[in-house]
Amino acid sequence: MVSDQALTADRVTSWQYSRMQADEVEEVVAGLSERGFIASVHRPALNRTCVRIVLPGGAEALWDTDGAAGLEAQVMADGMLVGFVPTIPGSADFGVQQTIDAIARAQYVGGFM
């Protein structure tokens, strides 16, 4: 049986992890905005944040929505998946600046950019 104290510790750790992620996402968005991208913080679920980039033609790239290791994107238009960016090799170890650079250089599969 798991104690209430252990459950509370797990919740605190989970909150701290998601908060750190949110701070990093905000830094990435700021860096992309400085480079001229229309970028924002997107919250697809409770305690989850990702980077949203507006693409030409009205589509959007949602970066790192699944919380898995590695940087990848889904390209959405009108709520439908229309393209993607496969996981970038080595991106699980990227810092904020490397993440900004990778997103800025991304080639989208599905006819966007």
12 C-beta neighbours (distance < 10 Å), count:
10
pLDDT of 83 > 50? The answer is yes
Q: What is the pLDDT of residue 20?
A: 46
pLDDT surpassing 60 at residue 47: yes
Query: How many domains does the chain fold into?
Result: 1
Contact 74, 81 (CB under 8 A): yes
In the predicted model, is pLDDT for residue 56 greater than 90?
no
Identify the band that residue 6 occupies on the pLDDT scale cut at 50, 70 and 90.
very low
Residue 113 covered by a domain:
no
Average pLDDT, the chain: 80
Residue 112 falls inside a structural domain:
no
pLDDT at 82 over 80: yes
Q: What is the reported pTM?
A: 0.75
What is the residue range of 24's domain? 4-105
Q: Is residue 56 part of a domain?
A: yes
Place of tokens 């605190």: 12
pLDDT band at 44 (very low <50, low <70, confident <90, very high): confident
pLDDT at 112 over 50: yes
